[in-house]
Amino acid sequence: MRTVPERAVHGYRAVWYYTAGEIVVRATAARRRADGDRVTYREQVFGALDPDELPRLAQVADRWAPLTGEETYLDGLRALVAGLVAAG
What's the pLDDT score for residue 66?
Answer: 86
State the pTM of this model.
0.74
Per-residue pLDDT of the chain (88 residues), as tens digits, is: 889 999 999 999 999 999 999 999 889 888 877 877 777 787 788 888 999 999 999 999 888 888 888 999 999 999 999 999 999 8
CB burial of residue 50 (10 Å; 0-12, 13-18, 19+) = exposed
For the chain, give every domain's residue range. 4-87
What's the pLDDT score for residue 55?
Answer: 95
What's the pLDDT score for residue 68?
Answer: 83
Spatial CA neighbour of 23 closest among 81, 86, 85, 77: 77
CB burial of residue 6 (10 Å; 0-12, 13-18, 19+) = exposed
Q: Give the C-alpha separation, 50 to 59, whole Å.
A: 10
